[in-house]
A and B are shown apart, each in its own frame.
Chain A
Amino acid sequence: MSYTDEQPNYSSYSLDELTDALKHIDKESYPERVKQIESLIAEKGGPGYLNQRVSTAAPTDDAGFVKTVQPHFLGSGKEYFSIWIVNLLLSIVTLGIYSAWATVRNKRYLYSNVELDGHRFSFLAQPIQILIGRAIGVGLFALYYVLSVMSPALSGLFILALFVLTPVLVCLAVRFRMRMTGYRNVRFGFDGSYGRAFVVFVAYSLLAVFTFGLCYPLLFKKIDEFLYENMRYGNSQFSTDLSTSEYYVASLAAGGIAMVVGFIFGLLGAGAMAGLFAISSVDAEQGGAIASGMAIVGVLIMYVAVFAIAQAVYQTFIRNHVFAQTQINQVARFTSQVKVGSLLWLRVSNLLLLVGTLGFAMPWVKVRTIEYFAACTQVHLLEGYENVLANAEDSASAIADETSNIFDVDIAIG
């Protein structure tokens, strides 16, 4: 047997054979061979062949991936807790002023501990940007609140104005979130136009309302489409191909399951109440009091359960779909394998942790959530991921010379 480690003569391969070889080669052990095959494919198929092939390939087809990597969270709940609690105390004793600095430290810790392909993400916002945004947010909220007291008619106008302004605020918020995320010294970005945002958020919202909710899944799809299509990593645009029917299936599944669970809870509750009244007929007054207390607890639990289940179902469907259908051109494709059961368990256990510790478990809750989603995510890097260009302001390290852009504030509205 001649299992030699000699390099095969790829230059004699046909295009199909090369593609096949690329598909099956052990990419970890033979990175040079991968490179050679790719350059040969590029030669035979002409320039851009790989990228064309990738963008038309079905998501399950892994041809053309340089490698598949998984994000990991490298931090620890314990370390994050100490950062979180100290910053929380400082925020409280400074009556909230320091909270902008606290937010930056918290987010930096979480972002910088997410590692992908040996490189970490970074959170790039300056506290002052967050502070200004919060000041604007508080100002708007206070204005609304005072107006609602002084003159309900004016506050109605204010709500209307806010509804019309929502597209602008959403664009600013998403833009901020993307621009403040860096990976390999290149910022993400968002170029959604206000006009298009207006169509999506105002026109489709109204459509959904006037069709008695029938168009809500369509609205959700349009929103996601608008958000993902306008994102970019450096100068590499995201592209996405979402299907309306997936959104209807997800919404119907979530709504249907919520209704079934709600119905079962209702039956159980009615049964329990009847039983309680039967037992306590001796002391009707006390029985009534206990029953009304239990009814309230029961309704609360039901509300949480129904909400949690519906959300887990919807999010599972939609995240998996969006990840499968979205790519960063010439940089990466994605796979998401969230499961309803495990996501539901994550949400419920997180809530129990928080309630049981009176909120002290918040850092672990965040770490668990990040770890869960990291484990469900795979990133397929495409040829060219190392050569993403960033124009001057998209270099994360360029922060020093960047005069703070007036639009780069995190306007904090619910």
Chain B
Amino acid sequence: MIKLDARLYPQGTSSCQNVSLSLYSGGLMQLVDESEQLICSTQRDDVNITPKLGNIPREVAIKNIGMLTFESNSEVDRWLAGKDEMNPNGANAVDIAKLESSRTGILLSILLVPITLWLLFKYAIPYAAIVFADAVPDAAVELASSQTLKTLDYTLLDPSELKPELREDLLAYWQTLIERFEDVDAKQSFNIQFRASEKMGANAFALPDGTIVFTDELVILLQGDKSLLTSVLLHEMGHVYHEHSMRLIAETLVTTVALSYFFGDVSGILEFAGGVTNTVVQNQFTQDLEWEADNFALAHAKKAGISENDFAQALSKLAETIGQENEFVGVLQSHPLMQERIENAINAGKISSDKSAVD
């Protein structure tokens, strides 16, 4: 039998009284007040025991009597966990409190938290995003694409002011290229559009259903050069081929939820730290996607009848329009650094020309 002093907060009021608690092996517990009057006698199984946590006093809710709190020791904790001579293993299988107070548990956690977080954001979430993107029905993809284009037409884009001959010339030039890619993946179709957009400037973007939009400003910047424009087209086809739009949606969604649930309930200025983390993690995703699209373009350059250097040139021209950049900016922006992308394209060109020299 264990006897200890406890506080009873009787049900229904904010009052408090000192009591004496007796715990018997077998699960009987008895409560007497300061004048040794019995308050109640009950069984361990009939009360609600709040799980042990750190060194805070233990709490036991007794139906219709009230809340009991008392300082515990290991003997009392064992009794509350249902462990006694008759039942040495107790009822609880997992003892979180034990893990929280064991040196090994803590050290292991310090080590594993960064590792598992890294694995989660670097591999698990991107992988889940691919599964998600594959599972999205085509009808939804088409709806999303047409709605997005409608919204963009309404807000950022104007009808193209390029000469119709120039547009038709480009479309005709790309027709065979597109057919060849559609042969590879019968499901995939591409649809190329031109729009004027002062606000977006020289740019091209792909919608998940295979619609690829070039801005007039980009065509003018690249002086209508078919090889350079084709290299950009290949990059955008890479986005479509790898289902980047849907993957990005899934990744953004999951990251935001994960970060707020793991590190949630922060307030005020701490949110700023959280916001930066979220931005950095998400930009890492988009940067990865840009690399994937770049490498798709480089891998298919030969097939499209252009060289890797065409892509490097197109990137260089785009780089001139965005000005200086440095590595710190790199972490905070969604696209990889232009300089690195250009070097990547030039290197790809070197490797492939080395190969053809050997051949």
Residues of A within 8 A of B (CB): 75, 79-83, 85-93, 95-96, 99, 103, 105, 108-109, 112-113, 119-120, 122, 134, 138, 141-142, 145-146, 149-153, 183-186, 233-234, 285, 288-290, 292-293, 296-297, 303-304, 307-308, 311, 347-348, 350-351, 354-355, 358-360, 362, 365, 385-392, 395-401, 412, 414
Contact = CB atoms under 8 A, between A and B. Distances in A.
B14 A109 contact: no
B63 interface: yes
B116 A82 contact: no
A289 B326 contact: yes
Given A92-B117, A150-B147, A354 B273 contact: yes
Interface stretch (B37-45, B104-112, B222-230, B292-300): B104-112
A150 B139 CA distance: 10
A185 B66 contact: yes
Interface stretch (B174-182, B233-241, B259-267): B259-267
Contacts of A392: 12
A399 B48 contact: yes
A390 B99 CA distance: 37
Nearest to B60: A397
Contacts of A304: 269, 272
A292 B325 contact: yes
B56 A350 contact: no
B249 interface: yes
Contact of B56 (A90, A96, A120, A347): A120
Contacts of A288: 323-324
Contacts of A359: 263, 273, 277
B144 A185 contact: no
Given A86-B96, A150-B144, A151-B147, A365 B14 contact: no
A395 B66 contact: yes
B119 to A, nearest CB: 9
A103 B116 contact: no
Interface stretch (B84-92, B158-166, B250-258, B342-350): B250-258
A389 B13 contact: yes
Nearest to B51: A105
Contact of A93 (B15, B100, B116, B326): B116
B9 A185 contact: yes
B2 interface: no
A185 B50 CA distance: 14
Nearest to B116: A92
A276 to B, nearest CB: 13
Given A141-B257, A186-B14, A395-B11, A112 B53 contact: yes
A18 to B, nearest CB: 26
Nearest to A331: B14
B53 A150 contact: no
Contacts of A96: 257-258, 261-262
A204 B327 CA distance: 45
Nearest to A111: B56
A292 B324 contact: yes
B11 A103 contact: no
Contact of A86 (B99, B256, B257): B99
Given A99-B261, A134-B261, A347-B268, A285 B117 contact: no
B16 A184 contact: yes
Interface of chain B, helix or strand or loop or mixed?
helix
B253 A145 contact: yes
B47 to A, nearest CB: 8
Given A86-B109, A93-B116, A103-B264, A351 B15 contact: no
23 contacts: A75-B56, A80-B54, A86-B105, A86-B106, A91-B261, A96-B257, A96-B258, A99-B262, A103-B264, A105-B53, A120-B69, A141-B257, A149-B147, A152-B151, A292-B323, A292-B324, A296-B329, A304-B269, A308-B269, A347-B269, A354-B270, A397-B48, A401-B63
Interface string B52-88: 0111110101110111010000000000000000000
B120 interface: yes
Contacts of A85: 106, 109-110, 113
B13 A186 contact: yes
B143 interface: yes
B324 A150 contact: no
B140 interface: yes
Given A149-B249, A150-B147, A185 B67 contact: yes
Contacts of A233: 14
For A150, A153, A401, the residue with the greatest tally of chain B CB atoms inside 10 Å of its CB is A150
Nearest to B47: A400
Which A-B residue pairs are the 3 nearest by beta carbons?
A185-B9, A397-B61, A397-B67
B143 A151 contact: yes
Nearest to B266: A362
Given A92-B120, A96-B262, A296-B328, A105 B96 contact: yes
B189 interface: no
A150 B96 contact: no
B109 A88 contact: yes
Contact of A184 (B14, B100, B147, B323): B14
Contacts of A95: 120, 124
A234 B10 CA distance: 14
A89 B272 CA distance: 23
A339 to B, nearest CB: 17
Contacts of A122: 59
A52 to B, nearest CB: 21
A234 B14 contact: yes
B8 to A, nearest CB: 9
